[in-house]
Structure 1
Amino acid sequence: MTNRIFYNGNIYTVDKNNTVAEAMYIEGDKIKFIGSNKDIEKYEHMADGIIDLNKKTVVPGFIDSHIHLLAYGNSLSQVNLSGCKSINEVIEVSKKFIMDNHVDPKKWLVGFGWNQENFDCKRMLTKYDLDKISRDIPIVFRRACFHISTCNSKALELAGITKNTVIEGGEVDVVEGDTTGILRENASNLVEIYIPKATRGYKKELVLKGLEKLSSYGITGIHTDDLGKDNGGLEMLDIYKELDMEDKLSVRVYIQSRITSFDEAKNYFDVGFNKYIGSENFKLGSIKLLGDGSLGGQTAAMNKPYENSTENGIALFTQDELDKIVDLAHVNDVAVVIHAIGDKTIDMAIKSFEKAMKKYPEHKVRHGIVHCQITSKEALEKIKENNILAYIQPIFVASDSKVVEKRVGKERAKYSYNWKTLNDDGVLLTFGTDSPVESPNPYENIYCAVTRKDLEGKPEDGFLPEQHLTVEESIRAYTISSSYASYEENIKGSLEAGKLADFAVLSDNIFEVEKDKIKNINCVMTVKGGKIVFDN
């Protein structure tokens, strides 16, 4: 056990009084004392090491409340298309990736991050575009939202997908009697099952690779849904247990178990996963339900059709199915977090939570809505009345602000990403990034929350600027509020005596730097449980 003093800092504690301290004495993995440089002197004789913070700003370690760790680790070795501004650039970047990485023609080429709204032509990738990259290598490129994939002809052939293919909860796009290569929602699974799955050992490597990168951002905790059956299910549980026993989790992992049906939910409780205690480094938590798709891909479920369309998106559960799963979880004291972007799915989630809370009022469960994007005045009020948590991803405003009015019209767009309204109404907000859908960089995320702009500074005044949050509100959402969502606010999320010593040392004072420069801040040191896990 190592005892350390960190002094001469600008330590933002996020305690109930927003106290700013100068020094901390860390005994083992917990904070023993926090206060002034003068007061810390009495602990010098007990310290194994003393570190001068050189007036740097310190905040509690960031806790990303919505991330996909295994997928993020995997994305670090896939074709990243997020920066592509044209379809030609997608083709050239992909060809270069094939050359630089000596891609075997017998293996699948997987990419992610493309967004047609960033292209000069504003159209989706099709199989005809991907065929220009290769007609021999099977290719699947996932859109930025991960709710739509585009495949080339070889991938469609191997998966047996034709113009007549039909799948529940998804769509295979067909134009003029031919497949376009665009697969929406569950249709993507028709191809995914043919992509060779990572071995157990490789999955472990991917997790470690992802954790190392997250630590470099000052992230000390995450909520991730890596126990879905498409990620290896129980095998991932064993991998996390193993990494915990080996003391290799540089980030604390809170699992949201992704479930796709009532039968899966029933099995979850029958087996007793909800009884797993875990440790301060790894534990099983809430149940995650994928309620609908994405706004950009027009698969988020809406009460009324999209603008200039007859389509309402795709709801992945019926109200009855959702009610049954939430009811079962609630009576077992397990929180449910529901991915809901469209107003229809948000309304469905609220109804399910309301029913369970009224039926079992003695059970105090912290349910939440993930994304919580296209709301309504009525929905916002009900979220407040029922103490439903809002898991938000401010970085989404960077891309969605460009398309929201096109997708849902001006009136409905007014109720998108209403963070300030929720916060001022007392709704607890937690910050996440949905990485690898977006970068896990917390400084870009906070910048978007505070400015409501994209990373290029547009629009100049911000999208619905009256809905911006302050830096202080954003830091709380990223730390103590995310801890509350996992029932851990008493052990982490703020820098106070008796709590875990998880914190990030920043390159600049995030509270004083110009708002437009917040996105340029870096982490210079990350400490998790008193151990320095990243030092730049």
Structure 2
Amino acid sequence: MQKIYFNGDIITMNDINETVPAILIEDDSIIFTGELSKAIKIANEDVEMIDLEGKTMLPGFIDSHSHFTGVANSLGQCDLKDAKSFMQIKEKIIDFIKINKIKENDWVCAFNYDHNNLQEHCHPDRFFLDTISTKHPIILIHVSSHMGVVNTLALKKMNITNDISDPEGGHYGRDVNSGELNGYLEEEAFIEFNKQRGMLPIEKLLDLMKKAQDLYSSNGITTVQEGMVNRQLFQLLKLAASKKIFKLDLIGYIDLLKDRDLLIDNIENKDYHNHFRIGGYKIFLDGSPQGRTAWMIKPYLNSQGYCGYPQFSDDQLYQLIAQAIEDHQQLLAHCNGDRACQQYISQFERYLNNYQGAKSYDPVMIHAQLVTKEQLDKMKKIQMIPSFFIAHTFYWGDVHIENLGYQRASQISPAKTAFNQGLKVTFHNDSPVISCDLMKTIWCAVNRKTKSGIDLGKEETVTVYQALQAITINGAYMYHEENIKGSLVAGKKADLVILNQNPLKTEPLNLDKIKVVETIKDGQTVYKSEKNLTGE
């Protein structure tokens, strides 16, 4: 089946600000871009002519880091993003239990609470959660997904008692007076708790996955990431693929620390099977800056010298890097603090210096919040890609000013510097930490304003075209798929998004008002807005 799209702004992302009058696709591929008359001449007689009516077409957006199954799970959880106090948390969870008729002893999961935005300016504890219910195990997931709080029944259900020790790279909160567990879980303690808690019933999860795909596609995304895959999750994703549930491409990254053999034993999954493939390995090097667990060179403000903490020693990290390179795999590392960024770079340099001629396989620094200019220089030399969670400038910019001071906070996500140094910059939303609305991310990158309206590092704002590169062609490059995705060029996949306005012609402060009209994956429409969104 052939289709010609015309009469709109068709932005190819092949060259700066390049547009073409028409694009011809056949089945799942682009076969021509250029003049409408030539497209018609090339096409079959029964070609479908689609008038864009002044709207804008771009390559399908590429999610360079999120947690797809986390987004799916969140669709069945209590959303606390609007809660401003402990009492509002309580009210929302009680209503959630009633509306969903959750049975006693069944888990109640709530997510998106942010202690920085609560009246109490602290995390709730198990004693407070016990006032919500003592008959349901309750877990609250912090908006960063790096920490959370559980009630007493949840601790009991997981056989966690007061004599438990902190795991390496994690922490169990305790009452300052009695020393008893207070229900707070941080980093590795939280991650392990969630892993042991297990997953929802399979059929329920598969249904939520379908809904999660609808959410991604409604935001113009055609390629999605599963940012940390363990053994149990890998089996679920393979099952979903075998049932042909995926309509978007899903790329998973295996937990290198705990499940290296999973990739080695399933190397055939490096290629797509029903839209799912393995992209490489993933590790965590530190925590979150808004949660004050990111590993910094200089202390947080008002912290008595506290700088956060690492997940690994230098030698441990070196061994993990060696494993990834020896397996010929790309490595993604979560790095927020500048000290974590430094560690990742230095240990990669150490390996490449020890083994001259070895390939790096384009490692990725996920988040790269406090990466410095000097570190970016070093990243380019070892072909390391910075993937910025640039929406931090808006969502937690004010918190970063409080935690780090304005000067340090204004240096987060130095995207302009990275672009100027020739790095293949990508942007991501780390969903479900925030929604997968990439037009909001473009707004954040171009404007760099906090929630309170403070300009946060205006010298690091990027152009709209650069922001679009970060979610199209550069994302494809990161996944080693630049030959099949990321720009509108003959021979590439017909992964397309149609917007109601042209970002390149929109006032910067209005970029987040642009809406997705239609998303097309492999030539087939996977999302179409029910609203009549006209182009300008």
| Residue 463 (structure 2) aligns with | 470
Map of 2:252 onto structure 1: 255
Residue 297 of structure 1 deviates from its aligned partner by 1.5
Q: Are 1:37 and 2:32 an aligned pair?
A: no
Who is 2:307 aligned against? 312
- CA gap of 1:509–1:17, structure 2 versus 1, over 3 A, is closer
Q: Which residue of 2 aligns with 1:366?
A: 362
SS in 2 for 1:260: helix
Q: Give identity over the alignment, percent.
A: 29
Structure 2 counterpart of 1:527, from 482, 497, 520: 520
Q: 1:272 deviation in Å?
A: 5.3
1: CA distance between counterparts of 2:457 and 2:277? 38
Shift of 1:404: 1.5
Find the partner of 2:396 among 395, 400, 403. 400
Equivalent residues in 2 for 1:271-290, closer than 5 Å: 271=265, 273=267, 276-279=270-273, 281-290=275-284
Query: Structure 1: any 5+ residue segments left out of the alignment?
Result: none
Question: How many residues are matched?
Answer: 524
- Equivalents in 1 of 2:141, 2:263: separation in Å? 33
Unpaired runs of at least 5, structure 2 = 530-536
CA distance in 2, matches of 1:109, 1:86: 19
What is the distance in 1 between the residues matched to 2:46 and 2:347?
A: 52
3-state SS, counterpart of residue 122 of structure 1: coil
| AA aligned opposite 2:375 | A
Q: Deviations over 1:112-171 (max 9, x none)?
A: 111112223322222233223222211100100011111122222323334432131211
Q: Say which of 411, 416, 422 aligns to 1:420.
A: 416
User: How far apart in 2 are the matches of 1:164 and 1:401?
Assistant: 38
Corresponding residue of 1:176: 177
Amino acid at match of 1:305: P
Superposed displacement of residue 200, structure 1: 3.3
Match of residue 217 from structure 2: 215
Structure 1 residues 269 and 320, CA, compared in 2 at 3 Å: closer, same or farther?
Answer: farther
Moved more, 307-316 or 101-110: 307-316
Q: Which residues in structure 2 correspond to 1:216-231 (within 5 Å)?
A: 216-229=218-231
Deviation at 1:501, TM superposition (A): 0.7
Q: Are 1:484 and 2:477 matched, yes or no? A: yes
- The answer on whether the counterparts of 1:163 and 1:172 sit within 8 Å (CA) in structure 2 is no
Q: For 2:191 and 2:159, how far apart are their aligned partners in 1?
A: 12
The CA distance in 2 between the partners of 1:114 and 1:275, in whole Å, is 36
Check the 8 A contact 2:293/2:309 in 1, yes or no: yes
Report if the CA contact (8 A) 1:4-1:47 is conserved. Answer: no
Give the distance between the partners of 1:233 and 1:437, measured in 2 at CA.
Answer: 19
After TM superposition, the structure 1 = structure 2 runs for residues 125-144 of structure 1, keeping only pairs within 5 Å, are: 125-144=124-143
Separation in structure 1 between the aligned mates of residue 327 and residue 269 of structure 2, nearest angstrom: 10
SS in structure 2 of the partner of residue 67 of structure 1: coil
Shift of 1:212: 1.7
1:431 equivalenced with 2:427 (yes/no): yes
Alignment of 1:118-157 (within 5 A): 118-157=117-156
Sort the Cα spacing of 1:373 and 1:226 in 2 relative to 1 into closer, same or farther, 3 A: closer
Give 1:50 deviation, angstroms: 1.8
Contact 1:3–1:46 (CA under 8 A) maintained in structure 2: no
**Cα 1:280–1:237 shift into 2, 3 Å:** closer
Within 5 Å, give how 1:44-443 maps onto structure 2.
45-168=44-167, 169-174=169-174, 175-177=176-178, 178-189=180-191, 191-193=193-195, 195-229=197-231, 232-243=232-243, 246=244, 248-261=245-258, 264-265=259-260, 267-268=261-262, 270-271=264-265, 273=267, 276-279=270-273, 281-309=275-303, 310-358=305-353, 359-363=355-359, 365-443=361-439
Deviation at 1:528, TM superposition (A): 0.8
Query: Normalised by the size of structure 2, how large is the TM-score?
Result: 0.92
In the TM superposition, what whole-angstrom CA distance separates every residue of 1:238-267 from its partner, at most 9, and x where no partner exists?
225314xx3x42211122212225xx43x2
Deviation at residue 17 of structure 1 after TM alignment? 4.5
> What SS class does the counterpart of residue 154 from structure 2 fall into?
helix
What amino acid is aligned across from residue 252 of structure 2 in structure 1? I
Q: Is the 8 A contact 1:274 1:334 kept in 2?
A: no
TM-score (normalised: structure 1): 0.92
Whether contact under 8 Å (2:85, 2:119) holds in the other structure is yes
Q: Rate the CA distance shift 1:383–1:131 in 2: closer, same or farther, 3 A.
A: same
Matched residues in 1 for 2:21 and 2:274: separation? 27
Q: Return the letter of the residue paired with 1:290.
A: F
2:266 and 2:251 map into 1 onto residues whose CA distance is 17
* Paired amino acid for 1:54: E
Q: Give secondary structure in 2 for the equivalent of 1:500.
A: coil
Contact 1:274 1:285 in 2 (8 A): no
Aligned to 1:509: 502
Instruction: Show CA shifts across 1:57-91 (max 9, x none).
Output: 11110001101111101101101111222222222
Range that drifts further, 314-323 or 234-243: 234-243
Would the alpha carbon gap of residues 270 and 254 (structure 1) be closer, same or farther in structure 2, given more than 3 Å must change? closer
1:200-238 C-alpha deviation (Å, 9 max, x unpaired): 333322322211211111100122235224xx1431342
1:410-429 Cα distance to aligned partner (Å, 9 max, x none): 55434321111111111111
Question: What is the alpha-carbon distance in structure 1 between the residues aligned to residue 494 and residue 288 of structure 2?
Answer: 37
SS at match of 2:184: strand
Match of 2:533 in 1: none
Q: 1:193 to 1:430 in 2, by over 3 A?
A: closer
Matched letter for residue 260 of structure 1: L
Q: CA RMSD in A?
A: 2.1
Deviation string 1:336-393 (CA, Å, 9 cap, x unpaired) is 1100111221111101221233324242511110000122343233223323100112
Amino acid in the other structure paired with 2:288 = S
- Give matches, 1:15-26, under 5 Å: 15-26=14-25
Aligned to 1:459: 453
Query: How far off is 1:518 after superposition?
Result: 1.5
Q: Is the 8 A contact 1:331 1:363 kept in 2?
A: no
2: CA distance, partners of 1:197 / 1:384: 39
Are the aligned partners of 2:144 and 2:291 in contact in 1 as well (CA < 8 Å)? yes
Equivalent residue number for residue 7 of structure 1: 6
| SS of corresponding position for 1:8 | strand
Distance 1:527 1:118, change over 3 A: same
How far did residue 334 of structure 1 move?
A: 1.1
1:410–1:535 Cα change, 3 Å: closer
Query: Per the alignment, in what secondary structure is the counterpart of residue 132 of structure 1?
Result: helix
